[in-house]
Amino acid sequence: MASLAAVIGWFIAYSLLGGDLSSFIPLFIVVFLITGAGNALNDLFDVEIDRINRPDRPLPSGAISKRSALYLAVLFFTIGVGVSGLLGSLCLLIAVVNSGLLVVYASHLKRTPLVGNLSVAYLTGSTFLFGGAVLGFDGAKVVLILSLLATLATLSREIIKDLLDMKGDSLRGARTLPILFGERPALYLSALSLFMAIGLSPLPYFQSLPDGRALFGDHYLLLVGVADLLFIAGIASSFRERAHSPTILKLAMLVALSSFVIGAVLR
């Protein structure tokens, strides 16, 4: 799914700027491998927790050894970063930074309140940015707002997920944002992140490409308006029936993503 997000970022930039049609293949491979390496590291650092919560998973069940998981992560990181060099210096830089962040997240930041949430939010948003960066800085600028919106929406959703997991997290001694500072402050921060996304969402409609063409057409404004209404519904739900909020936010993110794709194609 991360690879698909990167390809969508590339497609939006490609539909507006043109470029090498075959570049999405190494792009897909890079994101697939680096994300897979990060997942392997997460499993490696969570093996003791998984022995209790998910004993059927590969590491706690003994289907694969810790050493094999580590070798796999190193191999995937190495190949992923190496292939990213074929996509240009900007893609290589993002791949190196994200690989380093995935290592630090798995080892230290995952259980750090807010910083862990911010790391996941950035990594999610950066997949779109990485796709656009295949076409250089102009491509990255085209999808920059999409990347920022995805980051803000993911941050809000991650905080709400922490709220839903409070009972289990407190039993395990986790130090999440709502456990440390309370439910209300966490909810307000989640809402603030979403309102920032809503406030920024019309910006691409008023942007133009280097040659003066409009970045997105009227279809974008219509669809992103629908996404904003869903985001507001997700915020309202988080203060009432909290269990439904992540689903509503996921739907809103899907509509927002569709608005970028359709806005870029139908101008």
**Could you give the dihedral angle defined by the CA atoms of residues 177, 197, 266 and 254, in that order, rounded to the nearest 10 degrees?**
30
Residues 173 and 129 in one domain: no
Residues 87 and 206 in one domain: no
**149, 27 in Cβ contact below 8 A?**
no
pLDDT in tens, 184-233: 898 999 999 999 999 999 988 888 777 777 778 888 999 999 999 999 99
Please report how many Cα atoms fall inside a 13 Å half-sphere around the Cα of residue 263, on the Cβ side: 32
Q: Which of 262, 184, 194, 193 is nearest to 228 (CA)?
A: 194
Q: Which of 58-67, 101-110, 167-176, 257-266 has the lowest mean pLDDT?
A: 167-176
Residues 107 and 172 in one domain: no
Q: Which of 14, 242, 244 is nearest to 128 (CA)?
A: 14
pLDDT band at 168 (very low <50, low <70, confident <90, very high): low
CATH of the domain at 33: 1.10.357.140
Q: Which domain holds residue 88?
A: 1-140
Looking at 140, 168, 183, the residue that finishes a domain is: 140
CATH of the domain at 211: 1.20.120.1780
The per-residue pLDDT for 230 is 93
Residues 156 and 267 in one domain: yes
pLDDT in tens, 43-77: 888 887 777 767 888 888 888 888 999 999 999 99
pLDDT in tens, 139-166: 998 899 889 988 998 898 888 888 877 7
Query: Which residue has tokens 């995805």?
Result: 150
